Amino acid sequence: MPEIAEVARIVHYLRKFLVGKTLKVVNAQDDASVFGKVGGTGAEFQKALTGKKVIGAGQQGKYFWLTMESAPHPVMHLGMTGWVHIRGQPSVHYRPKETDEAEEWPPKYWKFTLETDGEPKVEAAFTDARRFGRIRLVNCPAEDIRNTSPLKENGPDPVIDRDVITEKWLENKVKSKKVPIKALLLDQANISGIGNWVGDEILYHAKLHPEQYSDSFSSAQLKQLRASILHITKTAVDLLGDSSKFPDEWIFNHRWGKGKKDAPRKLPNGATITFLTVGGRTSCVVPSVQKKTGAVAGDINKANKEAVEAIDNVTESKPKTKKRKTKSGTTDEEEDSKLEAEAVEEEANPKKQKTESAPRKAVKTPKAKGQISASATTTVVRRRSGRFSKG
């Protein structure tokens, strides 16, 4: 999924090839998701932009836009697979295809295409295979775009608004919530543009465990977190998301072997890489560096699970073990993809976002560590639905 750095790459090329030019031809498809889910249509988009001059291009986190000579202005979100292509410019994409085949135009899965007036003519296209991207028109003065939905519901951009993200601001933000720190970073209402891989890179650099609750960190740790947020995002944006230029010590260069046979499980320095799920997203962690120093959601859930298993051993003479399956019958990989899609849907529709809270405890664990009280065995009853109630 494109994050702050990849969006910065798109904006760079929009400024290079489209700004200052008039859009002679605009074609848009009436996609019920890409346009329709934010209250627009392809026809409205086409009519609003045809004949207009592009004055500028901007970004806030994962959102980007074109500033037209007059309102409305198109504001876009790439979703999971969206991208903007410039015809004849393969370097626009952060993962260009290594092929000698002739370029297909318009490209597959296009949602709109643009063609400029005059020479040299420039052609651009927005594509989105999975249709989680969003394209909307905002009817406001250009200087008010960031004060209009959906941007106003999103937090500051760590590169553009780095002066806003002070040590005090971040500490107040983090301490006011009790959620895993990785989930807090992924919530675009807090800080714009941080996605899965950027969040992992930040936490590795800051030496913080992604599952640890946000309100359990010290001021010194949060000071380092701020420094890591600013450093990682600025470096990635300055390099326009070109991973071939990322520093060798970044875990980005070594994290993509999950689930692949003979894939490296260690960093060049010998540190082991592991994976776990936080906030519905797969997180890359280096345990020897990212140590738990406070309350961790995963440990609490594990304690609950152990408590339930102990209760089952008391109340059932022959406890049965079941093979793990998702409710929908999908594989873990498909379930991860589904959860990521849901997260993208929330990002693209910020008004529908729900405040993430700490995981609800299924069973109240005893205060004594590693022990199960007698009362616990008599007050907790398993229902067939898998839930628990007090008896």
Both tokens of residue 38? 């934010």
Report the phi/psi class of residue 280: left, alpha or beta, with left for phi > 0 and alpha for psi in -120 to 50. left
Both tokens of residue 34? 């890409």
CA 170/CA 146 separation, integer angstroms? 21
247 counts as catalytic: no
Nearest in space to 130 (alpha carbons), one of 354, 306, 338: 338
Output b/e per residue, 125-160; b: 16+ Cβ within 10 A.
bbbbeebbbbbbbbeeebeebbeeebbeebbbbbbb
CA 80/CA 3 separation, integer angstroms? 9
Catalytic residue among 6, 52, 62, 347: 62
Nearest in space to 55 (alpha carbons), one of 94, 20, 30: 20
CA 55/CA 253 separation, integer angstroms? 37
Beta pairing, strands 54-60 & 110-116:
unpaired
6 counts as catalytic: no
Nearest in space to 106 (alpha carbons), one of 94, 120, 124: 124
Catalytic residue among 3, 6, 201, 211: 3
CA 300/CA 20 separation, integer angstroms? 56
2 counts as catalytic: yes
Half-sphere exposure of 316 (CA within 13 A, CB side): 12
DSSP string, 297-328: HHHHHHHHHHHHHHHHHHH-SS--------TT
C-beta separation of 72 from 139 below 8 A = yes
Q: Strand, coil or helix: what is 209?
A: coil
Helix axes 219-238, 196-206, angle to 10 degrees: 130
Catalytic residue among 2, 74, 150, 210: 2
C-beta separation of 2 from 194 below 8 A = no
The residues assigned a catalytic role are 2-3, 62
